[in-house]
Amino acid sequence: MEAPPVGVVAFNRMAFGPRPGDLDAFEALGGTDEARLLAFVDQQLAPESIDDSEAEARIAASGFTTINKSLSQLWVDHAVGDPDWEVRIRPVVETQLSTFVRAVYSRRQLLQVLADFWHNHFNVYGWDFWEAPVFVHYDRDVIRPNVMGNFRTMLEAVAKSTDMLFYLDNWQSSKDGPNENFARELLELHTLGSENYFGAIPRNQVPTDGDGIAVGFVDEDVFSVARCLTGWSVDGDPWWDPTTGNGIYLYRHDWHDLAAKNVLGLDLPANQPAEKDGRDVLDLLAAHPGTGRYIARKLCSRLIGDQPPDGIVDAAAAVFTTQVDAPDQIAQVVRAILLSDEFRSTWGDKVKRPFEIAVSTLRAGDADFPFIEGNGDTDTFEWLYYNTGQYLFGWHPPNGYPDFKEAWISSGPRVMGWRLTNWLIDVQDSADTYRMDAVSQTPPQARSARAITEFWVDRILGRPATSETSEELIDFMAQGRNPDFDLPLDTDVGTQERLQTLLGLIFMTPEFLWR
């Protein structure tokens, strides 16, 4: 399948789709596709240099009460004393709403895309009893500051985060009962990946590199990693006395297994200083070539296609491994992927998931949407979006929402996604609705069925639709009339309603859903 213009590719992969004017701004960045893409990539990889006042103003006006609370404040206000459920989950509710605000309105789009990627990679079910009260901290202090930084730094931040400690039970792991949940997912999902899992065979049967380090892991390594992380816990004992502690990471040395250990062929001596066993393991995993290739493949799959070519995976993995100590390691890997030939030339190997559909619809339609808790439109949006199958921070297993097209092209996600987009473009029926006003956004010179359709196809898709799709859309808008005759769009309610439905049809086209 032929790829669309580079700006369209960039805004559907590095961003959640273009807003009005975005593609024109992209074209102004240089004289060639290569120059424009290079300028856009470097701009997005320096998010602090991008004015994001619109998104920040919207968040400030949303009335959120938890997103600026410290971790200990979140714990005391929303966990201690077992408050009402609405109070308990308010931090994750507000994290979800602020995530939508940033995805729709932030100009730091690559930052938002990567935050979504890493939340999925280090998945935590955010609506659970102990995770929900402090989820603001997980998003704000653990994931977002590290999305373009150093993987080893992010790995330790995740391992010590209150949410992950509770989610995978490491907060109660001790020498008397090491818990393998986090240790297994650390190896199988967060670093080496299942592609480097050798099963239950003895460790000495796994091939090693020149330094004696195993090329993959076995069950024996999972148990060793669990022992290394004993004592990595939380201040407070919520099961027995929820009024204690502050919910912050606490290393309990008296819980730690001090005996000698071996992980992937690396010997760890007995009686190491506090936390050193765990940090040695994180060092080993972050620097392992298997981790580099696994993370590179996942990033390539997210940014290029479900089955990215081996060449770009190898190139990205080499950057990951050689830059293991760089503070901008992840940014360097992402840059290599985004500037590759494969990024520009691959198209249609991925489809938008429900989150991307909802956000790109709002962006294309230049919607003014509140995302305020208790607002009627926000409540309806939340209900419709919940039924699409990708409720934010709502995936129970630790592997995160699937990121391949077969998981999202079935009737359930598609039908509910179409219901959501059709509601978003419905004719406004009161002053309290914040949805898209398509009529006012249609320029006065576009009044024929053909001109109206071509304007909105270009606005939403950034390029012409296929001739077959285009003719079907024009025929729908014309309703048997000459497609080049003007329609009474400014005065006739029926024509206005047909325009809204036209937008809904464009949002259902394969051209809109590919990326």
pLDDT tens track for 150-199:
999 999 999 999 999 999 999 999 999 999 999 999 999 999 999 999 99
Indicate whether 480 pLDDT > 80.
yes
Q: What is the pLDDT of residues 215-256, one digit of tens each?
A: 999 999 999 999 999 999 999 776 666 566 899 999 999 999
Region 312-320 average pLDDT: 98
Return the pLDDT at 241. 65
Instruction: Say how far apart CA 116 and CA 355 lie, in whole Å.
Output: 10
Indicate whether 315 pLDDT > 70.
yes
Q: What is the pLDDT of residues 94-137, one digit of tens each?
A: 999 999 999 999 999 999 999 999 999 999 999 999 999 999 99
Give the pLDDT band of residue 47 (cuts 50, 70, 90).
Answer: very high
Pick from 252, 250, 261: which is nearest to 284 by CA?
A: 261
H-helix segments, 106-198: 109-121, 135-137, 151-159, 162-167, 181-185
Beta strands in 319-423 (DSSP E): none
Indicate whether 427 pLDDT > 70.
no
Instruction: Say how far apart CA 65 and CA 89 lie, in whole Å.
Output: 12
- The torsion angles phi and psi of 477, rounded to 5 degrees, stand at -65, -35
Q: What is the largest CA-CA distance in the chain?
A: 85
Region 209-214 average pLDDT: 92
Indicate whether 459 pLDDT > 80.
yes
Region 333-359 average pLDDT: 96
CB contact at 8 A, 117 and 289? no
Determine the distance from the C-alpha atom of residue 52 to the mean position of all C-alpha atoms in its chain, rounded to a whole number: 19
DSSP secondary structure letter of residue 345: H
| Threshold 0.95, pTM exceeds | yes
Domain ranges of the chain: 438-513
Beta bridge partners, 232, equal 251
CB contact at 8 A, 234 and 250? yes
Return the pLDDT at 278. 98
For the chain, percent helix, then strand, then coil, each to nearest 5? Answer: 55, 5, 40
CA dihedral 298, 302, 303, 306 (to 10 degrees): 90
In terms of C-beta density within 10 A (0-12 exposed, 13-18 middle, 19 or more buried), how is residue 119 classed? buried
Judged by DSSP in three states, 262 sits in strand
CB contact at 8 A, 269 and 260? yes
pLDDT above 70 coverage of the chain, percent: 97
Judged by DSSP in three states, 185 sits in helix
DSSP 16-83: S-PPTTHHHHHHTT-SSHHHHHHHHHHHHT-GGGS--HHHHHHHHTTT-SSTT--HHHHHHHHTTT--
Indicate whether 395 pLDDT > 80.
yes
Instruction: Say how far apart CA 342 and CA 301 lie, in whole Å.
Output: 11
- The torsion angles phi and psi of 458, rounded to 5 degrees, stand at -65, -40
Mean pLDDT of the chain, nearest integer: 95
Q: Which amino acid is at 188?
A: E
Indicate whether 383 pLDDT > 60.
yes
- Look at the block and give the residue holding tokens 């890997």: 333
What would the two tokens of residue 31 be?
């004289």
Q: What is the pLDDT of residues 77-92, one digit of tens each?
A: 999 888 999 999 999 9
CB contact at 8 A, 191 and 198? no
Return the pLDDT at 42. 98
Q: Are strands 232-234 and 266-268 parallel, antiparallel or unpaired?
A: unpaired
Q: What is the pLDDT of residues 256-311, one digit of tens each?
A: 999 999 999 999 999 999 999 999 999 999 999 999 999 999 999 999 999 999 99
Region 39-61 average pLDDT: 97
Return the pLDDT at 431. 53
CB contact at 8 A, 103 and 116? yes
Q: Which amino acid is at 23?
A: L
Neighbours of 32 (CB within 10 A): 9
